[in-house]
Amino acid sequence: MPRSERLLHLLQVLRRYRRPVSGQTLAEELGVSIRTLYRDIASLQAQGAMIEGEPGVGYVMKPGFMLPPMMFRSEELDALVLGMRWVADRCDKTLSDGALSTLAKVAAVLPTELRRELEESSLLVGAPLKRPTHKVSPDLLRAAVRAERKLNITYADGRGFNSQRVVWPFALVYFDQARVLMCWCELRADFRNFRSDRISNVEQMEERYPKRRSTLLREWRKAHHVASRTILPDSGSMDH
């Protein structure tokens, strides 16, 4: 493994630990000697990485350190370009502008060779079959999720019948053909998923819901036996 790639791997490993981790553990995970590990940490510290610790005590990296531009591998650039292009093509204007701005900022700090690779990427996003129409601003839904605020929504089920719900929104899932608001529904006293294109009216309430959104997401995954990488199964628990 090239040294630059090894240093990147070391940074990524350190980011996973919130408490000091021993040099021996880091060396074993990277497949290097403890002496090489100490030299790599010293090199990263010299480049500005905020890694604290010492041999025999352990090491921890303070949050906020940005990766140097040369630390992107080709597959990481491919993932970044494809993901940002998907968001720019599939999402609302706020997220679309954010994706394009992110790509521009990354390109601006990349070395010439990597910038050319990013700009000439041949990973493209196909056009969706049908774009759903929405009566409610997705900005409002995202804001409610971030603020952990209850929402009072008017929702039409698959047969077109309207109901009034007070929900605790904790995630917003993006599919090609729909966006799905994941919530705890006070009416059903259970988790429910609501297609955002079927929400005709929404009011953000002043009251915050009593749990953290991360807690609700963990409870949802546990209740539905969903792995941590999976956001929402195709069947879901859509409220009809």
> Could you tell me which residue, 35 or 111, shows the higher pLDDT?
35
Mean pLDDT calculated for residue range 40-64? 85
Q: What pLDDT sits at residue 56? A: 81
Architecture category of domain 3-61 in CATH: Orthogonal Bundle (1.10)
Residues 109-124 pLDDT 10s: 777 777 888 888 888 8
Confidence of residue 235 (pLDDT cuts 50, 70, 90): very low
CATH 2.30.30.520 boundaries in the chain: 138-224
> Could you tell me which residue, 195 or 44, shows the higher pLDDT?
195
Confidence of residue 225 (pLDDT cuts 50, 70, 90): confident
> Could you tell me which residue, 66 or 14, shows the higher pLDDT?
14
Does the pLDDT at position 98 exceed 90? yes
Please state the pTM of the whole predicted model.
0.66
Q: What is the DSSP string of the chain?
A: --HHHHHHHHHHHHHT-SS-B-HHHHHHHHT--HHHHHHHHHHHHHTT--EEEETTTEEEE-TTPPPPGGG--HHHHHHHHHHHHHHHHHS-HHHHHHHHHHHHHHHHHS-HHHHHHHHT-----PPPS-PPP-SS-HHHHHHHHHHTEEEEEEEE-TTS-EEEEEEEEEEEEE-SS-EEEEEEETTTTEEEEEEGGGEEEEEEEEEEPSS-HHHHHHHHHHHHT--TT----SSTTB--
CATH 1.10.10.10 boundaries in the chain: 3-61
Could you say which of 2.60.40.10, 2.30.30.520, 2.102.10.10, 2.30.110.10 is the CATH number of the domain covering 138-224?
A: 2.30.30.520
Mean pLDDT calculated for residue range 28-37? 92
Residues 2-17 pLDDT 10s: 677 788 888 888 888 8
Does the pLDDT at position 84 exceed 50? yes
